[in-house]
């Protein structure tokens, strides 16, 4: 599908006007509250309904009040009339939600690790691993797409690229993959830029784990513990040695070993997502240049060399 510059500008203006209208509508519409109920009230309602679901509500249905489903389903605004674009757009939005959910869990794990609550940190880390499984499964919704399928609407996306996902950058930064240059695209979005800057300036999950190991008595140098956390961590043999020692104890009370396995699952699932991204680009674009100005496939392949939690992997050679 081909589109003139005038058509693209018109589509952008339409989207901007639609967004403004939706914002004004939300501001005019009172927000209904979810009303808590007790087990006794639920039982009374079931008895009154004869076991059938409630069909009459004074306002919006409570499910929509809680999930904002009507809002979510109004966010799919395609730029073409090609039916395949809906899959591309919605899968991208689903991935955005999973990025945010995974980051939420990892930040909770960080909080608990900073408080030396290793056992409690295992739960959010396990949830994060499962959320990443869901994120990986989302790629299946695009396996039908050939280069011809993508080309029918790709030009309309302009310079739009997954490279520009702010939430994905948050997730990378929390996992320890850090490159200050990658927040530059958001300089005109001051709030987004400030949030990314704050995430970059704070310790990553791996930084917090290393600090935990030091508190647990492992011999780690002060230079490692006091380094500039905005700079990507480089693998250190003393951190590797600490994990070799941790894994030498197979006892059920070795919570650090359990932590290592939970982190390994997160790293593996995240690596799987990155690899599936590479394969999806190969399938739909080959080695064409990327929409966001990069070399596309070649750029993604180079980025795979950066490893999440590197000493957890290198330590396995010495175990």
The annotation places the binding site for heme at: 277
Show binding-site residues for substrate: 154
Give the phi and the psi of residue 129 in degrees, each rounded to 5.
-60, -40
Token pair in block for residue 92: 């991208």
* DSSP-assigned letter for residue 46: H
- Compute CA 2 distance to the chain's CA centroid, rounded to the nearest angstrom: 32
Q: Distances in Å between the alpha carbon of 218 and those of 121, 201, 238, 239, 252?
A: 20, 25, 9, 8, 20
How many residues comprise the chain?
319
Q: Please answer whether residues 106 and 203 qualify as being in contact, where contact means their C-beta atoms are separated by less than 8 angstroms.
A: no
How far is the C-alpha of 269 from the C-alpha of 286, rounded, in Å? 24
Q: Which residues have CB under 8 Å from 151's CB, separation 6+?
A: 1
Q: Which residues have CB under 8 Å from 295's CB, separation 6+?
A: 289
Strand ranges for the chain from DSSP E: none
Show binding-site residues: 154, 277
- What is the distance in angstroms between the CA of the first residue and the CA of the last residue of the chain? 56
How far is the C-alpha of 202 from the C-alpha of 315, rounded, in Å? 26
Q: Please answer whether residues 132 and 266 qualify as being in contact, where contact means their C-beta atoms are separated by less than 8 angstroms.
A: yes
């Amino acid at each position: 599908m081909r589109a003139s510059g005038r058509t693209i500008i018109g589509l952008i203006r339409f989207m901007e006007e639609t967004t403004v209208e939706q914002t004004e509508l939300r501001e005019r519409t009172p927000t209904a509250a979810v009303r808590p109920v007790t087990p006794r009230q639920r039982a009374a309602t079931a008895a009154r309904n004869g076991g059938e679901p409630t069909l009459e509500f004074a306002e919006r249905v409570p499910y929509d009040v809680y999930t904002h489903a009507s809002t979510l389903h109004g966010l799919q605004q395609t730029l073409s009339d090609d039916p395949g674009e809906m899959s591309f757009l919605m899968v991208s939005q689903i991935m955005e939600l999973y990025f945010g959910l995974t980051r939420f869990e990892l930040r909770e794990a960080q909080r608990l690790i900073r408080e030396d609550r290793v056992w409690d940190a295992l739960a959010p880390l396990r949830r994060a691993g499962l959320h990443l499984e869901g994120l990986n499964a989302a790629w299946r919704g695009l396996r039908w797409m050939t280069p011809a399928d993508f080309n029918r609407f790709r030009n309309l996306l302009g310079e739009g690229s997954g490279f520009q996902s702010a939430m994905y950058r948050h997730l990378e930064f929390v996992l320890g993959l850090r490159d200050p240059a990658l927040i530059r695209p958001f300089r005109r979005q001051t709030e987004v830029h400030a949030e990314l800057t704050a995430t970059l300036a704070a310790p990553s999950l791996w930084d917090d784990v290393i600090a935990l190991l030091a508190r647990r008595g492992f011999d780690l140098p002060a230079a490692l513990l006091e380094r500039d956390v905005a700079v990507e961590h480089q693998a250190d043999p003393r951190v590797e040695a600490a994990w070799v020692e941790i894994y030498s104890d197979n006892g059920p009370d070795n919570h650090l070993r359990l932590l290592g396995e939970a982190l390994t699952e997160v790293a593996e699932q995240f690596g799987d997502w990155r690899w599936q991204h590479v394969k999806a680009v190969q399938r739909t674009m080959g080695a064409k240049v990327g929409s966001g100005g990069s070399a596309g496939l070649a750029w993604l392949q180079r980025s795979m060399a950066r490893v999440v939690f590197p000493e957890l992997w290198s330590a396995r050679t010495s175990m």
